[in-house]
Amino acid sequence: MKPVSVGLLGLGTVGCGTLNVLARNADEIRRRAGRSIEVRRAVARDLKRRRAADLSGIALSDNPDDVVNDAGIDVVVELFGGLDPAHGLILRAIDNGKHVVTANKALIADYGQEIFEAAQRRGVMVAFEAAVAGGIPIVKAVREGLSGNRIDRLVGIINGTTNFILTQIRDKQRSFADALAEAQLLGYAEADPAFDVNGIDAAHKLTIIAATAFGIPLQFGNVHIEGLADMDSRDVLYAGELDCRIKHLAIAKRTRGGIELRVHPTLIRGDSMLANVEGVMNAVMVDGDAAGPTLYYGAGAGAEPTASAVVADLIDVVRALTSDPENRVPHLAFQPGALSDVPVLDIGDVVTAYYLRLQVKDEPGVLAAITRVLGDLNISIEAVMQKETSGDGKPVPLVLMTYPVRERDMNEAVDRIRALDSVDDKVVRIRVEPLHGEACGERA
Ligand code: NDP
Ligand code: HSE
């Protein structure tokens, strides 16, 4: 059978990884797909740059039109990243009747609805497994493997760069900047690493996977996002003393009031499986009503782990080439006309326990004043850790663990605590997530 012709947009980390995997596993891939998959054209900005892949036999260009307008290309693999020009190119490729594979989570989170509708109309496929959690086939697992379940919660470490940074700070006492520089060198970080560090990349991925899990529209604008900007190595240390770890989590949860969509540093029990996901590894825990909790673990970034997902999508596309478009797996798991309009819960209504770290004057009556503020707002304290004494009334750190409280009430409490003369203005607060059973701090 005639090989399937691929046009590759991008020869960076993932583009070269994809070429290498396609070349190394060509025979296995052909046996799985039923046809050979051949990259005929590839596009990059700088055609003189040395690439980490064998480009022989591939027509190179710095003009993406050479791929999307070539009638001989069956599948366009978009690995440029970013919104522009990727958005227009993908729409044009679809318009030209080409199937699309992309690793671009920003694009799918922001423009997925438009892209999927265009693909539906044209009868072509758009596959995006590599957009979420690198080498972990989480989109496939949620969309197909768990399609018999009502999914109630999804909690994941879905940004490799931030997990790598947190692990380096904790285990190797490296500085934030140093760890980020290495993540960039290893090809984990986004072109603009602020997307990783500020939680935006994880929010893009959460947008996609939550839509797939709950059958809701893609709605990046409704995700509550906090990054690692306020991370302090003292909190990493104190979390350890509470037998907990701080992880940058993405959480999607079905509650009575609506769906929670949030990305933020989170305290979890140190003996939970997610707490022990280190370095660039990612993991996603999914609670289904029938399957119960399931956990998916693997490399969340990097050339070949991501290429693994890109190539799997290519094989899926090739296998489905002759299928009736109406009978293909829906892009976001649910039939396009069957999306739910369940609201996303305002972050002020989200209920979680809290870790609070305050700088307080080392003098009598300070703790009583703080507990009075919390008590007035019906916030119960789970544990208190006074870290040091200064002996001379100078500020010392005080750590409090609370029971679950509505975010709005915690905001009010923090405002009132910061107004106390004996407390410094900066109050660190980290949400606590119980994974299964006890929450962090319940044994402290
Ligand atoms: P890179 O920056 O390494 O590669 C991007 C490639 O696209 C480069 O070859 C670049 O050319 C080319 N390119 C970009 N814009 C243009 C343009 N306008 N015209 C021509 N060529 C262009 O990115 P990655 O490979 O790391 O990431 C690609 C995509 O995969 C992104 O969407 C990213 O979010 C996603 N992803 C990345 C992962 C990773 O671990 N890196 C993991 C999962 C997803 P040149 O080299 O000449 O500059
Ligand atoms: N920058 C992303 C990360 C790449 O670090 O997870 C994988 O999506």
pLDDT in tens, 226-270: 999 888 889 988 999 999 999 999 999 999 999 999 999 999 999
Distance 222 CA to ligand 1 centre (A): 27
Q: How far apart are CA 191 and CA 413, in angstroms?
A: 39
Check: CB of residue 250 under 8 Å from CB of residue 158: yes
Instruction: Determine which of 1-10, 328-337, 354-363, 388-397 has the lowest per-residue pLDDT on average.
Output: 388-397
Structural domain boundaries of the chain? 4-135+304-336, 138-299, 351-432
| Residues recognised as catalytic | 205
What pLDDT score does 366 carry? 93
What percent of the chain shows pLDDT beyond 70? 97
Q: How far apart are CA 314 and CA 26, in angstroms?
A: 12
What pLDDT score does 252 carry? 98
Distance 127 CA to ligand 1 centre (A): 17
How many other CB atoms sit within 10 Å of the CB of residue 380?
Answer: 12
Q: Where are the alpha helices (DSSP H) in 215-245?
A: 233-241
Please give the average per-residue pLDDT across 90-113, as a whole number.
98
pLDDT in tens, 164-181: 999 998 899 999 999 999
| Neighbour-count burial for 55-83, b at 16+ CB within 10 Å, e otherwise | beebeebeebebbbebeebbbbbbbbbee
Check: CB of residue 284 under 8 Å from CB of residue 213: no
Does position 440 have pLDDT exceeding 90, yes or no? no
Can you tell me which atom of ligand 1 is nearest the CA of 301? 40
Does position 338 have pLDDT exceeding 80, yes or no? yes
Q: How far apart are CA 374 and CA 390, in angstroms?
A: 25
Q: Please name the fold of domain 138-299.
A: Dihydrodipicolinate Reductase; domain 2 (3.30.360)
- Greater model confidence, 55 or 387: 55
How many other CB atoms sit within 10 Å of the CB of residue 138?
Answer: 29
Distance 58 CA to ligand 1 centre (A): 18
- Averaged pLDDT of the chain: 95
Does position 158 have pLDDT exceeding 70, yes or no? yes
Per-residue confidence band for 442, with pLDDT thresholds at 50, 70 and 90: low
Please give the average per-residue pLDDT across 315-334, as a whole number.
93
- The one-letter amino acid code at 214 reads F
Q: Where are the alpha helices (DSSP H) in 320-381?
A: 366-376
The two tokens of residue 118 are 């265009």
129 lines ligand 2 (CB under 6 A): no
Q: How far apart are CA 304 and CA 293, in angstroms?
A: 28
Check: CB of residue 190 under 8 Å from CB of residue 201: yes
The two tokens of residue 15 are 């583009």
Q: Please name the fold of domain 351-432.
A: Alpha-Beta Plaits (3.30.70)
Can you tell me which atom of ligand 2 is nearest the CA of 103? 8
Per-residue confidence band for 86, with pLDDT thresholds at 50, 70 and 90: very high
Per-residue confidence band for 334, with pLDDT thresholds at 50, 70 and 90: very high
What pLDDT score does 393 carry? 66
Can you tell me which atom of ligand 2 is nearest the CA of 282? 6
Q: How far apart are CA 39 and CA 74, in angstroms?
A: 10
What pLDDT score does 21 carry? 98
Q: How far apart are CA 178 and CA 197, in angstroms?
A: 13
Q: How far apart are CA 119 and CA 97, in angstroms?
A: 9
> Residue 266, CB half-sphere, CA atoms under 13 Å: how many?
25
Q: How far apart are CA 76 and CA 7, in angstroms?
A: 5
Check: CB of residue 104 under 8 Å from CB of residue 118: no
Does position 303 have pLDDT exceeding 80, yes or no? yes
Q: How far apart are CA 363 and CA 422, in angstroms?
A: 8
Q: How far apart are CA 143 and CA 166, in angstroms?
A: 30
Does position 444 have pLDDT exceeding 70, yes or no? no
The two tokens of residue 249 are 């989590």
Q: How far apart are CA 341 and CA 215, in angstroms?
A: 9
Per-residue confidence band for 439, with pLDDT thresholds at 50, 70 and 90: low
pLDDT in tens, 376-425: 999 999 999 987 776 666 789 999 999 999 999 999 999 999 999 999 99
Q: How far is CA 327 from CA 120, 134, 318, 321, 330, in A?
A: 11, 27, 15, 12, 8
**Which among 253, 261, 256 is positioned nearest to 226, based on CA atoms?**
261
Q: How far apart are CA 407 and CA 431, in angstroms?
A: 10
Q: Tell me which DSSP letter residue 260 carries.
A: E
128 lines ligand 2 (CB under 6 A): no
81 lines ligand 1 (CB under 6 A): yes
Task: Please give the helix or strand (H or E) that residue 63 lies within, else none.
Answer: none
What is the rounded (10 degree) CA torsion for 81, 84, 86, 87?
130
Angle between helices 26-33 and 303-319 (to 10 degrees): 30
The two tokens of residue 346 are 């305002």
Distance 163 CA to ligand 2 centre (A): 10
Does position 37 have pLDDT exceeding 70, yes or no? yes
Top-tier CATH class for 4-135+304-336 = alpha beta
Q: How far apart are CA 230 and CA 52, in angstroms?
A: 36
What pLDDT score does 162 carry? 97
Please give the average per-residue pLDDT across 292-318, as a whole number.
98
